Amino acid sequence: MHYILPMEPVKRILLLHKESPQPANAACALQSWLESRGVSSEVLCASADPVELRASAAASDAVLVLGGDGTLIGAARLLSDIRTPLVGMNYGRVGFLTELPALEKGDWESPLADIVEGRWHRESHLTLRWQIRRREGEGWITLREGTAINDVVTAHGVVARAVSLDLSINGTLFSSLRCDGLIVSTPLGSTAYTASAGGPLTMPSMNAQIVTPICPFAGGFPPLALPSYSSIRIESRRVDDQVLLSVDGHDNLPLEYGDVLEIHGLEDQLHMLVGDPDWYLRRLVDRGIVTSGPGHRHGR
């Protein structure tokens, strides 16, 4: 269930910066600013030991991620089950998921003070749990598994060559496709690869899994929205296909003939801090993902 709740005042915060001098220096400056307001903090690089990162996040009231969307998504993937709320400070390009501007841009002090004083909201989001499974003897073994914040993509590993995939939903074979690939995304990730492939922009509150075929040659269907609890199964069906699995734009894991990718949604796993409950709609416009027609400029 998706929900928005008031947050508590922040007493301890983890400052997590991407591996770059500018956000690292900003994190140190923020540490002094927080200390002057009675808030303890710890500064860690996003590439630090995952065990240390998780322990520090679990002991904190919030995690401020200094980086772009990629850094924030990577932190969310690592920390999602801990449920300490995350908020981003934009040291990337688009910064669709980041709430605060970089220190050098100004206008960060007032919203950060509101966060510290507990005046923002805590918003929960759906994540995806995935597993690659392979038949061994009379049973199945799990080769790899993990969590996705944006999307799980199965696509060809060779340029301009389609792949054959069977898509089953809740145990029912839904489609046998010859296509460039399949995207299963969260609502939060619907503005990424899903939107580029013609999928719908989806409000994060919907708790849906969105399945979008990529350039289907046969067996295609319109983008499909499924309840979070749906069980999705994707199987590679041709011996000579080179199918790769990408998670949030990373990893590129091989999916061999007969391997099965299983995906299901997990509600209430990722918590983020938001100052505006309508941030998603506003940011679609502010970041240029949705553009207004010429009449809007003239008030028509």
Residue whose token pair is 């950060």: 112
Are 280 and 99 within 8 A, CB to CB? Answer: no
Is there a catalytic annotation at residue 278? Answer: no
Residue whose token pair is 């996003």: 46
Question: Own/partner pairs for 252-259, CB < 8 Å, 24+ apart?
Answer: 252/157, 253/132, 253/144, 254/157, 255/132, 255/154, 256/134, 258/134, 258/135, 259/132, 259/133, 259/134, 259/143, 259/235
Q: Which of 61, 69, 180, 259 is catalytic?
A: 69
3-state per-residue secondary structure call for 175-238: EEEEECEEEEECCCCHHHHHHHCCCCCCCHHHCEEEEEEECCCECCCCCEEEECCCEEEEEECC
The catalytic residues are 69
